[in-house]
Structure 1
Amino acid sequence: MPRALRMRLVAVITLGVALLIVGIALFARNRLTGQPVGWFAYAPLTNTTFTNDASGRLVLMQSGSWWGLALASIGAITVSGALGYALASRHRRSSATE
């Protein structure tokens, strides 16, 4: 693999890892908040009580969590694409010499 291509590949992998780390940190910093779901259940002539327990909470993501998830996804896709390209070019070069 030529030196210029190798340096470009290292730069792309470094950028992808940086995006992945920043995305995970941003996602972890913005906690997921459980909000009670506002609903009303009317059941005539029964003695059933409807309550909103912990398992019935709606989990809302803040905008920072969405950005963190997006950055982590882009970073993971970038790293996997660059590593896949590097492995495929290595395999292509070794099979061409045989």
Structure 2
Amino acid sequence: MILLIILTLILNFLSLISDDAKSDNYFAIKMQISNIINIYKVNVLLIESNVFYTIDGFILNRSNSINSAMHDINSFSIHQLQINLSHSINLGRF
């Protein structure tokens, strides 16, 4: 962010140069600074998208783990209930 501010200030300073003093060098410098700013913006966007992708992946993995754990608990509970019912039925027959 600081780099972006500094480059913007340099661009503004270069734009203050009078028309007589402007040359090909001025336009070349201005284009280079603009390119640097654009590259910086793209890099920031890539970093932000990677961070959000990582967070989404973490949330997805976490929810999958929770769903898997809930499925295991539910399966175990149903299995335990079946055992208890069959045990109760067996006790009732005797």
| TM norm. shorter chain > 0.5 | no
TM bracket (short chain): 0.3 to 0.5
> TM-score by structure 2 length?
0.45
* Structure with bigger gyration radius: 2
**Larger proportion of strand:** 1
> TM-score by structure 1 length?
0.43
**Larger proportion of helix:** 2
